[in-house]
């Protein structure tokens, strides 16, 4: 059985992330969406909120599991029995960082491969921080995130 782990900060999960997970759910037996605590990124949503939102958004996919983690990704992947790391590549600008991440993870465990998927064109320009910024300035984010995430962003910004 091929279990793939899709790590990220997901602050919050966007349609671009969902796009990647839906593609992976077709290709792999099991997909673990691993939400990193990422304290260095000073997330707008705490880890429990990010996990709950991702569970809601991805609830229609039966072979997808959502977990939070605060350890090394490679350790968490081993613990979950995942032999593949999945990352999304939106544009050439993502490549350098992703190349470095994949290389470092390979140094830490050569048995875990990193693979990449690309989202559909309309999701290539999306990023969580831009969505947070638009929401904070009272812009409409309904084209970029699930309605539950849009509500959570409104609540975060004291609009509810």
**Which residues are catalytically annotated?**
17, 41, 90, 128
Beta carbon of residue 26, minimum distance to ligand COA (angstroms, whole number): 16
Please give the structure tokens belonging to residue 58.
Answer: 């991805």
Our CB check for ligand COA shows the closer of 90 and 151 to be 90
Nearest to 102 by CA among 113, 90, 91, 118: 113
Q: Tell me which residue has its CB nearest to ligand COA.
A: 16
Q: Residue for token digits 């559909």? A: 120
Beta carbon of residue 113, minimum distance to ligand COA (angstroms, whole number): 14
Catalog residues that contact ligand COA under the rule CB under 6 A: 7-11, 14, 16-17, 20, 36, 38, 41, 72-73, 88, 90, 101, 104-105, 119, 123, 126-129
DSSP letter at 113 equals E
Q: How far apart are CA 72 and CA 141, in angstroms?
A: 32
Beta carbon of residue 4, minimum distance to ligand COA (angstroms, whole number): 13
Our CB check for ligand COA shows the closer of 30 and 149 to be 149
Exposed/middle/buried for 17, CB within 10 Å: 0-12, 13-18, 19+? buried
Q: Residue for token digits 């690309």? A: 118
Our CB check for ligand COA shows the closer of 116 and 151 to be 116
């Amino acid at each position: 059985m091929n279990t793939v782990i899709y790590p990220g900060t997901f602050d919050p999960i966007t349609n671009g992330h969902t796009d990647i997970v839906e593609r992976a759910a077709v290709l792999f037996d099991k997909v673990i969406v691993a939400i990193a605590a990422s304290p260095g990124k000073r997330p707008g949503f705490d880890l429990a909120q990010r996990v709950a939102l991702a569970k809601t958004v991805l609830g229609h996919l039966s072979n997808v599991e959502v977990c939070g983690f605060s350890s090394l990704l490679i350790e968490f992947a081993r613990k979950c029995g995942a032999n593949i790391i999945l990352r999304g590549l939106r544009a050439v600008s993502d490549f350098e960082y992703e190349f470095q991440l994949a290389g470092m993870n390979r140094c830490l465990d050569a048995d875990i491969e990193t693979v990449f998927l690309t989202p559909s064109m309309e999701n290539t320009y999306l990023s969580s921080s831009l969505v947070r910024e638009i929401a904070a300035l009272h812009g409409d984010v309904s084209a970029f995130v699930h309605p539950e995430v849009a509500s959570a962003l409104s609540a975060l910004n004291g609009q509810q």
